[in-house]
Chain A
Amino acid sequence: MKFEIFVTLKKDVLDPQGKAVEGAIKNLGLSTISNIRQGKYFTLEVAETDEHKAKQQAEEACKKLLANLTIEEYSIKKLS
C-alpha cells in the first residue's frame, strides 16, 4: 500500500527557509504571493493489505523519524 506524506514545520514555529524564499519571490516581482512555508514530501510503500494497519506503520515512521515532533507536524494520504 502506497502513501504520501507531507512534513511541515508547525504553524507557530519559525520557518527561516520559507521566510527567505518569500523575500526572493517578492524580489522577482511576484508581489501577490505571501505566506510561503517550506516542507518535505515523502512517498512510501507498506507491505500490508489492511489499510488501518498500513497507515499505523506510516504513522510510526513519521513519529519516529520522518518528522521531528518538537517542531514539525505531518499528514498522511493513501495513494493506492
Chain B
Amino acid sequence: MEQTTVDQAKQLGLTESEFDKIKELIGRIPNFTELGIFSAMWNEHCSYKSSRVWLSKLPTKNKYVVQGPGENAGVIDIGDDDVAIFKIESHNHPSYIEPYQGAATGVGGILRDVFTMGARPIANLNSIRFGKPEHPKTKHLLNGVVSGIAGYGNCMGIPTVGGEVEFDECYDGNILVNAMNIGLAKKNKVFLSIASGVGNPVIYVGSKTGRDGIHGASMASQEFDDNSEAKKPTVQVGDPFAEKLLLEACLELMKTDTIISIQDMGAAGLTSSSVEMASKGKLGIEIDLNKVPCRETEMQPFELMLSESQERMLIVLKEGKEKEAEKIFKKWDLDFSVIGKMTNSKNLVLHFNKEVVCDIPISSLADEAPKYNREWISTPLPEEINIDKKLNDLDIKDCLIKLLTHPNQSNKSWVWEQYDHMVMGDTIQKPGGDAAVVRVHGTNKAIAATVDCTPRYCFAHPHTGGMQAVCETYRNLSAVGAEPRAITNCLNFGNPEKKEIMGQFVEVIKGMSEACLALDYPVISGNVSLYNETNGIGIKPTPTIGGVGLIQDSNKSTTISIKATGNLLLIIGETKGHIHQSALCYDILHIKKGPPPTINLAEEKKNSLFVRNLINKKIAQSVHDISDGGIALTIAEMCMSGKIGANITTNLIDAERIKFLFGEDQARYVVEVRSADYDNVVKLAKEQEVSLLQIGSTKAENLTIDDMKITVEDMLTLNNKWFHNYNSN
C-alpha cells in the first residue's frame, strides 16, 4: 500500500505534529485513504479540537432535557410523552462560495439531523448575516441565500417561521448562514446513533454518492484568502425532493422494529457517520466500498469516504430486517444497499476491489483526536464615554426615522414572504414577532422558538455579549407567553489560533454558561464555526442562540400588535438609559465605543415570569421585548404591527430623553393592558418587586412622543421600503 508524507498531510490541513501523532497511534505510516480519513475526523469541524475544552463547561441539563449534546440533535420533554428535538448549525463557508446551494444544503443538513432522531420536522428558523449593503457581493449573497433557504424548506413542506437578518461590515468576506430546525417525536421513539450488536448489517440509504464537497469539512475549518473562489467545485448541490422522499421513508422505517441506530451523512460523509456510530457503540465497523451506490464512475476509496453528497443516511439494522427495510426505501425510489456490518475488532476496516484499503482503530479517530487548550486573553469591559453633547442635538423624529429605514431594523417581509411559513397548518405566529409559535399538531399546546444574537455587544465585551444572547432568546420566548426550556447554539468566531479571538470564544462561553445556569435554560445541541476570517480580518464574535419554549395553551399567547385604542402601555423592567452600543449609537451615529448594557440575570428571570403571568391571565393584550432601538423603536413596531397609534410622555429633555427612548437596558418589555386592569397589574408588580412604569396609552393613527408626531401609515411606508428598494435594482 502506498505511504504518505508530511507534505500530503499538510495539504489535507493536518499539522506536522498531528501527522506524527497519527503514526504513533496506528504504529505505521498511514496510506492515502487513511490519511484522508484522519484529516476529516481531526479537523476543527468534526473534532472540535479548539473548542471542546470550553464547550464542556456549558450547562446541559435540567428536568426537561432528555438528550443533551453529543447526538445529532438535542431532545427536550414537552409533556404528554411528546418531545421536541432541535439543533442549529452553520453553513457559512459554502454559502459564501455558492450562496444558493450553500444555504439550501445547510437547511437540508439540519433537517436530516432532526429527522435522523425520529422526529418529524415542524419548523425551520435561520440567522443570516451579511456584509455592508454597499459591498459589491452583498446583494448577490443575500438573494442567493434567501432563495436557497426558500428553495429547500418550501419544497420539503416544512414552514420557515422565524429568524434574523443583519448587515455589518465585519461579514463582508465571511457571511453567516445558521440554520435551525425543530421536530416532534414521541419520547419512546427517539433514535440515537449508538451502534450495537456485532454482526448487525450496516445500510446505506438515500441518494447516490458523487464527488460533491470532497473535503468540505476541511474547507469549513480554514481561513479564506483571495483564492477561495477557486475552491468552488467542492460545493454540494442540494436535492430537496430526494430529501423529502428520504424523510418520509425514514419515518416509515422508524415505525417498524428494525433500527438499532441511525446517523445522517453530513460533514465528512461516510467517514464521520460510520466512525461516530461505531465509536459510540464501542465497536468496530467493516464496510465494502464497492457496495456504495455511486453516481459517477471510478470513484476511489478516498472519494467515497469523504464525499459530502447530500440526502444520504447510514443505518444499523437488526439482523434479518434487511428485506423489510429495503421494501420501504424502494417504495420511495431511494437507493438501499447493505454495505457492511458491525464487528468486535474496534477498528474501521474498509474493503475495495478485494483489498483492505483502511484498517485503523476507531478510538484513534474519535477519542484520541487532538484537543487543544489554546492560549487566550481577556477582553476588558470598555469604559463609558460622555456623548451627551452629541445626544443633546438629536431630534427624536429624525432618530426614529433613521432607525426605521436602516437595513438592520427594516421590515424583513421581503425575506420571509419568500419562505412558506404556513405549510403543515400549525403556524400560530408567523415571522415578524418576538418568537414564532407553532402548534403541536393535534394538541392545544405550542412550541415557541427564536434565534438571536447581538454581535456588537459580543465584540465590545464577549462575556456580557454571551449572556445577553441567551437572555434575548429567553425574553423573546417570554414575550409570546412561552416558558423557555432549552437552547441550541451556533458559535461563529474568527481564527482561534489568535489569542484575542480565542479569548472572545472563552468569555462568550463563560457568559452563556452563567446565563444558562441562572435561568435554568441549558444548551442541548449546537455547532462551532471557527476560522471565519478573510485576509486576517475576523468576524465579530457571533454566538447565535436558538431558544425553544413551551406554551401549554395555544389560546394563551400574545403578539407584538397593539390590539385596541384606549389601552395603557407599560414598561416592565428598569430603564436606566444605557445608550452605549445601542442600535442608535452604533448604526446611526457610528459611535462604536463604550460598554454594552449590563445583564442582571435575577431581573431577567423575575421580569420574564411576571410577563408570562400577565399573558397567561389574558391581562397582557400585546407584549414586545425591548431590544434594538430601545423603547421608541419597540413601541413603533407595536404600532406598525397593530396599525394603531400611541401617545408617549417622557417628562425628560435633551440627552436624558434620547437615552431613555433609545437606550438598550436589558430585561425589559413593553406590555399593553386595558385600563381596567391597571391597578391590579401595579399591585402584582409591587408584590413581585418588578419595576413598572406607565409610559403612555394607545390611540388611533399617530405615534406621538412628547411633542413629536408621526403617523403609523408613514412609519409603515418608511419601515417597508429598504429591502424592496435594495433588491429592485
Contacts and interface: CB of A to CB of B under 8 A. Distances in A.
Contacts of A10: 233
Interface string A40-80: 00000000000000000000000000001111000000000
A68 to B, nearest CB: 8
Q: Is the interface of B mostly helix, strand, loop or mixed?
A: loop
B237 interface: yes
Contacts of A13: 210, 212, 237
Contact of A14 (B232, B240, B295): B295
24 contacts: A9-B237, A10-B233, A11-B296, A12-B233, A12-B296, A13-B212, A14-B207, A14-B210, A14-B236, A14-B239, A15-B237, A16-B238, A16-B239, A19-B242, A20-B241, A23-B333, A68-B98, A69-B232, A70-B97, A70-B101, A70-B235, A71-B101, A71-B235, A71-B237
List the 7 closest pairs (A to B, CB-CB), nearest first. A16-B239, A70-B232, A14-B237, A70-B98, A12-B211, A14-B210, A13-B237
Given A19-B239, A69-B232, A70-B233, 20 more contacts: A9-B237, A10-B233, A12-B210, A12-B212, A12-B296, A13-B210, A13-B212, A13-B237, A14-B207, A14-B210, A14-B212, A14-B236, A15-B237, A16-B237, A16-B239, A16-B241, A16-B242, A19-B242, A70-B235, A71-B235
Interface in A1-32: 9-16, 19-20, 23
Contacts of A20: 241
Nearest to A71: B237
A2 to B, nearest CB: 29
A14 B212 CA distance: 8
Given A14-B239, A14-B309, A19-B239, A71 B98 contact: yes
The A contact surface, by secondary structure, is loop
Interface residues of A, number: 15
Interface core residue of A9, A14, A16, A70 (most chain B CB under 10 Å):
A14
Interface centre among A68, A69, A71 (most CB of B within 10 A): A71
A58 to B, nearest CB: 22
A58 B718 CA distance: 42
A75 B97 CA distance: 24
Most central of A12, A23, A70 by chain B CB within 10 Å = A70
A15 B237 CA distance: 8
Interface string B205-234: 001001110000000000000000000110
Nearest to B235: A70
Contacts of A71: 98, 101, 235, 237
Nearest to B211: A12
Nearest to B101: A71
Interface residues of B, number: 22
Interface of A: 9-16, 19-20, 23, 68-71
B637 to A, nearest CB: 38
A40 to B, nearest CB: 15
Contacts of B239: 14, 16, 19
Contacts of A23: 333
A12 B232 CA distance: 13
A72 B98 CA distance: 12
Contacts of B212: 12-14
A52 to B, nearest CB: 27
A79 to B, nearest CB: 31
A51 B207 CA distance: 44
A80 B210 CA distance: 39
A24 B190 CA distance: 34
Contacts of A68: 98
Contacts of A12: 210-212, 233, 296
Nearest to B231: A70
Contacts of B240: 16
Contacts of B295: 14
Nearest to B210: A14
Nearest to A16: B239
B235 to A, nearest CB: 6
Nearest to B237: A14
A45 to B, nearest CB: 26
A51 B427 CA distance: 58
Nearest to A23: B333
Nearest to A13: B237
B413 to A, nearest CB: 28
Interface string B79-111: 000000000000000000110010000000000
A20 to B, nearest CB: 6
